[in-house]
């Protein structure tokens, strides 16, 4: 039997422990002020000026499916698609006010396919793409912000730069009651191949689920336009902070971008830019990129390079002579803010002179009836016996018959011409016509 004194001591200890737990729990939940954000004034920060000229695609998720019962609706029927659009339109206002160029996948409650959303961003070669959404979960108390990127971190380095800034700014602006261990998620966690809109967009792209409309209290807030504008302001601050951190890039110097060179071993030089010096910032002379972050890809394959730090210059070492045609150069850099370069490709074209011409006709002879014709394939080769570059002009003239076209463009070194007979010339048109054609065909690099 337990004595009275030990029992009282035990009760005391229990009370102390329980009281201590209560105080600890209260401290953990104390940041109630955090969940009651102050009135936003939507001030435009000075660093937002760097958004001028930046091309952004905003994608208000869903739309045009109001006829589907209970589809993407909150507890009292609020449609996610409507909220997504309102937030996107407010964000559009913030961005265009500071000079950003904004493309919208939709501006009303219409259905737009996933592929068409991505095509808009790809066609306009935007700097980045943001899909705006709100989330749903069976537990009505769930409510937090999440931002999604495509596949693995290695596959979405630039997208993750944007995602970090947007995620943190939306979190700070909405101040929702829950904060997960990480707010950044791979779309592969949900779908093995990733979200279609992120997978098909070839530009840096993220999808943000700003909050959960399945939470009854959050649904009521999302009905308010002032709250929608607050959310848009969070996006705006994140985007502005991301761009203010500088967008590093490699600038192709030689060969000049979109130029043609005859040599198959051109000297490829790339200027390094950290995205900050160009603003007149007080910095060390060298462009502030991490030297070991530099990577150069030629036609999608990483190639050796030398980085001349004092000159801010990258010199590429070609492993072998280049093939005839267009070549794509892409430079990966990371500046001291941690921003990766945008995936912008620059190109030049290798077009050595044609040194040899081969002609091939459908038939050896044609009747001189004025109606018959023959197709003649001209194959132009360089000095190494390789087809000249694609899309190069090849011109033809003939003194026998008439040509349907006197100019064609090369594809795999070949161009097609059609020679029609002339009724006034009784001789066989093919042999003499081919001879004349062979003497006078040329591309714009070399006469024959």
Domain boundaries 356-447, CATH class: mainly beta
Q: What is the mean pLDDT of residues 312-316?
A: 99
User: Is pLDDT larger for residue 368 or for residue 95?
Assistant: 95
Angle (CA) 74 75 77, round 5°:
60
Tokens of 244: 């203010």
Is the CB of residue 56 less than 8 Å from the CB of residue 242?
no
Q: How would CATH label the architecture of 36-244?
A: 3-Layer(aba) Sandwich (3.40)
Residue 448 has pLDDT above 90, yes or no: no
Residue 370 has pLDDT above 80, yes or no: no
The structural domains of the chain, with segments of one domain joined by +, span 36-244, 249-350, 356-447
User: Are both 249-350 and 356-447 of the same fold?
Assistant: yes
Measured in degrees and rounded to the nearest 5, phi and psi for residue 249 equal: -160, 160
Burial 404-426 (b: 16+ CB within 10 A, else e): eeeebebeebbbebebbbbeeee
Q: pTM (2 decimals)?
A: 0.84
How high is the pLDDT of residue 279?
Answer: 96
User: Is pLDDT larger for residue 270 or for residue 370?
Assistant: 270
How high is the pLDDT of residue 312?
Answer: 98
Rounded distance, CA 217 to CA 176, Å? 11
Rounded distance, CA 360 to CA 382, Å? 18
Residue 59 has pLDDT above 70, yes or no: yes
Is the CB of residue 147 less than 8 Å from the CB of residue 137?
no
Residue 74 has pLDDT above 60, yes or no: yes
Q: What is the mean pLDDT of residues 376-385?
A: 92
| DSSP per-residue codes, 288-304 | -B-GGG-EEEETTEEE-
Tokens of 242: 């991301």
348 three-state secondary structure: strand
Pick the CATH number of 249-350 from 2.60.40.2470, 2.60.40.1220, 1.10.150.20, 3.30.70.20: 2.60.40.1220
How high is the pLDDT of residue 398?
Answer: 83
User: Is pLDDT larger for residue 98 or for residue 439?
Assistant: 98
How high is the pLDDT of residue 372?
Answer: 84
236-245, 267-276, 422-431: least confidently modelled range: 422-431
pLDDT band at 3 (very low <50, low <70, confident <90, very high): low
């Amino acid at each position: 039997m337990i004595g009275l004194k030990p029992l009282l001591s035990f009760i005391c200890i229990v009370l102390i422990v329980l009281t201590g737990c209560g105080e600890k729990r209260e401290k953990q939940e104390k940041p109630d002020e955090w969940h009651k954000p102050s009135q936003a004034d939507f001030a435009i920060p000075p660093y937002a000026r760097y958004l001028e000229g930046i091309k952004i695609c905003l994608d208000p998720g869903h739309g045009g499916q109001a006829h589907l019962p209970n589809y993407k609706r909150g507890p009292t029927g609020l449609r996610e698609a409507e909220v997504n659009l309102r937030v996107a339109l407010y964000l559009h206002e913030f961005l265009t006010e500071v000079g950003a160029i904004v493309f919208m996948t939709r501006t009303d409650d219409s259905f737009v396919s996933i592929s068409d959303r991505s095509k808009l961003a790809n066609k306009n070669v935007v700097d980045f793409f943001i899909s705006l959404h709100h989330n749903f979960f069976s537990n009505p108390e769930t409510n937090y912000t999440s931002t999604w990127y495509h596949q693995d971190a290695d596959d979405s380095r630039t997208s993750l730069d944007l995602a970090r800034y947007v995620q943190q700014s939306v979190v700070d602006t909405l101040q929702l009651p829950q904060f997960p261990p990480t707010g950044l998620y791979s779309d592969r966690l949900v779908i093995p191949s990733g979200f279609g809109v992120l997978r098909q967009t070839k530009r840096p792209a993220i999808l943000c689920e700003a909050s959960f409309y399945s939470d009854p209290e959050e649904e009521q807030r999302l009905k308010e336009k002032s709250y929608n504008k607050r959310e848009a302001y969070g996006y705006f601050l994140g985007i502005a902070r991301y761009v203010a951190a500088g967008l590093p890039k490699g600038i192709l110097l030689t060969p000049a971008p979109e130029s043609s060179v005859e040599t198959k071993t051109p000297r490829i030089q790339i200027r390094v830019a950290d995205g900050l010096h160009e603003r007149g910032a007080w910095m060390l002379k060298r462009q502030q990129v991490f030297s070991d972050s530099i990577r150069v890809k030629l036609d999608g394959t990483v190639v050796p390079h030398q980085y001349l730090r004092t000159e801010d210059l990258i010199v590429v070492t070609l492993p072998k002579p280049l093939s005839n045609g267009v070549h794509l150069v892409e430079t990966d850099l990371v500046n001291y803010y941690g921003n990766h370069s945008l995936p912008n490709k620059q190109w030049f074209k290798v077009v050595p002179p044609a040194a040899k011409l081969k002609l091939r006709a459908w038939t050896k002879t044609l009747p001189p009836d004025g109606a018959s014709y023959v197709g003649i394939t001209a194959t132009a080769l360089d000095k190494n016996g390789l087809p000249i570059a694609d899309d190069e002009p090849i011109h033809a003239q003939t003194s026998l018959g008439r040509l349907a076209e006197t100019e064609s463009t090369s594809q795999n070194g070949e161009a097609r011409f059609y020679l029609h007979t002339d009724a006034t010339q009784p001789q066989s048109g093919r042999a003499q016509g081919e001879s004349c054609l062979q003497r006078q065909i040329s591309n714009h690099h070399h006469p024959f």
